[in-house]
Structure 1
Amino acid sequence: MSPDEYCQQKTVQSGSSFYYSFLFLPPERRRAITALYAFCREVDDIVDETTDPSVARIKLAWWRGEIAQLYAGAPTHPVSQALKPHLQAFDLKQEHLLAIVDGMEMDLDQSRYLDWPGLRKYCWHVAGVVGILSASIFGVTDPRTLEYAEKLGLAFQMTNIIRDVGEDARKGRIYLPVNELQQFGVTAADIMSFRHTDKFVALMKFQAERAQGFYDEALALLPKQDRRAQRPGLMMAAIYRTLLDEIERDGFHVLNQKISLTPLRKLWLAWKTYVRN
């Protein structure tokens, strides 16, 4: 199996919505974004699937070394081998890949965030940076496009946090800021016990408004001349924003179920966005 095939398999197996936006890219950009996504999956899986935090830290440290090897021209892992041809072509910066690894390590260090600035820092590491790297692969002629991509990454991550409240609670994690739980009268015990209350719904509406604000800010930042190149991100925005709308329409019943869109609907949203842009 070639490095590109390894990354393709990793991406397809993940079942991610991102896959649908990759389908519309030219071959070289598609290979680059698939390799980047596979990298994110590799480091994310370390935290999700390794039960011993000390082992997870060792594995993340290995990836830091592998990133150094990648930029020295001697990668050993199939994912970094697949990334290698694209580093210079798409200006993929070493510090951004390292920032993603740092974000994964944050999950080993804390399972609560006191306030929004703390959570925003986490979101930047695990999603904002990914947005910047992705936009670089899609094509950038204006620096504002990278600001758009960073904001869009934050919107995606907030949508994920809203969707996964129950799933994260089962792992002992609450990403919603502690001071905002207090503001709405929701306790950590309420979430860990999966209690769906009017107070919880009010808290989730507040989080959804924050995410919607990031979508609006991101789209307002995207320069017209880069809009066509950035269609994959716009496709993802259509899919994720529709998901957020569905969660809200369902009354934020995210504690005991995971709301998702069907593959056919994702493909339709991606195609509709593609032809409109």
Structure 2
Amino acid sequence: MTDPHAYCQEKAAASGSSFYYSFMFLPPERRQAITALYAFCREVDDVVDECHDLQIAQTKLDWWRGEVGRIFDGTPQHPVGQALKDVIRQFSLPREQLLEIIDGMQMDLQQTRYLDWKALNLYCYRVASVVGLLSAEIFGYANRQTLKYAHDLGLAFQLTNIIRDVGEDARRGRIYLPVDELKQFNVPARQLLDGEYSDNFRQLMAFQATRARQYYDQAFAQLPPEDRKNQRPGLVMAAIYRTLLDEIEADGFQVLDRRTSLTPLRKIWLAGMTWFRG
């Protein structure tokens, strides 16, 4: 029989995500909990990314909705669900927010374009801000203002992901840059799909990077001093992601034909520096 928490640990480690580096210094109990949450996010995200048959992907997402119900009923079937069963009880994680993450993945099945920032903001909220809010519960906080920090930091992370993955997403037929902003900067969708660079494209991406940085700054401004220590995993993640954003910008937003990433060693260094600085 598969050990649920070992399964989640393997899922998180195999992803190589910056998320994994952000909770490596946590106490075992909280690290185990956030790893289970992250594994849940990976499972439902993989449904959309790896399942090319729309009907099968829909069926799998529906199964995960049912699994969320079973988690709260105490009868989960999947190793990730079994790991989360204890976590949701221990940290009082709300069912609605786990379902909202699935709602975000559902959006990926239903649309490949977003008309404006308001529409994209809802997607980012579901797939990232909600994860930030759940994470804040696991890390612990004394001041509810910390939830505003977690919400905005999640948005900043997702915007950074969108910038990094423009080319990769376009090759999957998805464009997460708002349609009205593509028009504003005179960047046809076909240009992204064909991987063509231009000055207009770089200006569009600089605009996206500015928005991401505004959300980082807004998040940090809302983190109460008394909760800074508990919320260090988010600060670690932010150090890694902001460095990544700086690298992408310094490279002239070469995101259509390559994926910029930081080496594991650099991520560990940034994680350690941020964590022990407190």
TM-score, normalised to structure 2, is 0.99
Check if 1:85 corresponds to 2:86. Answer: yes
Q: Distance in 2 between matches of 1:242 and 1:248?
A: 10
After superposition, where does 1:58-69 map in structure 2 within 5 Å? Answer: 58-69=59-70
The C-alpha deviation readout for 1:115-145, integer Å capped at 9, x for no partner, is 0000000000000000000111011111111
The C-alpha deviation readout for 1:169-202, integer Å capped at 9, x for no partner, is 1001110000000000100011111111000000
Q: Distance in 1 between matches of 2:10 and 2:30?
A: 17
Query: Partner residue of 1:184?
Result: 185
Q: Distance in 2 between matches of 1:66 and 1:230?
A: 29
Q: Distance in 2 between matches of 1:85 and 1:59?
A: 23
Q: Distance in 2 between matches of 1:76 and 1:144?
A: 36
Check if 1:33 corresponds to 2:62. Answer: no
Query: Partner residue of 1:157?
Result: 158
* Structure 1 residue 73, shift from structure 2 partner: 1.3
Query: Partner residue of 1:245?
Result: 246
Structure 2 SS opposite 1:88? helix
Q: Distance in 1 between matches of 2:262 and 2:124?
A: 23
Check if 1:21 corresponds to 2:27. Answer: no
Q: Distance in 2 between matches of 1:175 and 1:231?
A: 29
Gaps of 5+ in 2: none
Query: Partner residue of 2:71?
Result: 70
The C-alpha deviation readout for 1:192-227, integer Å capped at 9, x for no partner, is 111110000000000000000000000000000100
After superposition, where does 1:158-177 map in structure 2 within 5 Å? Answer: 158-177=159-178
The one-letter code matched in structure 1 to 2:66 is G
4+ aligned runs moved over 2 Å, structure 1: none
* Structure 1 residue 88, shift from structure 2 partner: 2.5
- Considering only aligned residues, what root-mean-square deviation do their CA atoms show, in Å? 0.6
The C-alpha deviation readout for 1:83-125, integer Å capped at 9, x for no partner, is 1111122121100000000100100000000000000000000
Structure 2 SS opposite 1:23? coil
Q: Distance in 1 between matches of 2:36 and 2:218?
A: 28
The C-alpha deviation readout for 1:6-55, integer Å capped at 9, x for no partner, is 00000011111111111100011001000000000000000011111111
Q: Distance in 2 between matches of 1:122 and 1:87?
A: 24
Q: Distance in 1 between matches of 2:275 and 2:95?
A: 31
Gaps of 5+ in 1: none
The one-letter code matched in structure 2 to 1:122 is Y
Query: Partner residue of 2:262?
Result: 261
Query: Partner residue of 1:45?
Result: 46
Q: Distance in 2 between matches of 1:21 and 1:175?
A: 25
Query: Partner residue of 1:197?
Result: 198
Q: Percent identity?
A: 63
| Pairs aligned (count) | 277
Q: Distance in 2 between matches of 1:203 and 1:23?
A: 35
